[in-house]
Amino acid sequence: MFVVRVVLGNVFVCRKPTQFRKPPCTGAKCHRDDCMDQAHQPFFHSVLGTHKSDDVRLIFREFVVYEKSQAYPEFLVEYERQQ
C-alpha cells in the first residue's frame, strides 16, 4: 500500500459511474471531458468519485488526478493479511 501526498486543486465530485479521460469542464452545465466550448471554460484539476450502497452508507471514495506532478508517493507500507 502506498501513502501518497496529492494536490487535488479544484475537485469535480462525481456521484454516478463515469469514465473521464481528462478532468471535466467547469462550465455551468457542461461537466464533460470532451468539451468543445468556444468560450473555453477551464477544466477541473481532479475528480472525486463516490459510491454509496442501497442503504446510503458510503462504501468508498476514489480520488483521480490526471497529472503525475499532482501526486507524490511518500511511503510504501508492507503488510500481510491474516485470514
Q: Output the pLDDT for position 9.
A: 92
Structural domain for 65, as ranges: 2-76
Number of structural domains the chain divides into: 1
Q: Output the pLDDT for position 71.
A: 92
In a domain, 82, yes or no: no
**Residue 12's pLDDT band (cuts 50, 70, 90):** confident
CB 11 within 8 A of CB 47: yes
Q: Output the pLDDT for position 49.
A: 84
In a domain, 44, yes or no: yes
- Residue of higher predicted confidence among 4 and 60: 4
| Whole-angstrom distance, CA of residue 12 vs CA of residue 18 | 12
**Which residues sit opposite 44 in a β-bridge?**
none
In a domain, 83, yes or no: no
Tell me the three-class secondary structure of 65-79, residue by residue.
ECCHHHEEEEEECCC
* Model pLDDT for residues 19-78, shown as the tens digit of each residue: 777 778 777 666 666 666 556 668 888 988 887 666 666 667 888 898 999 999 999 999
In a domain, 81, yes or no: no
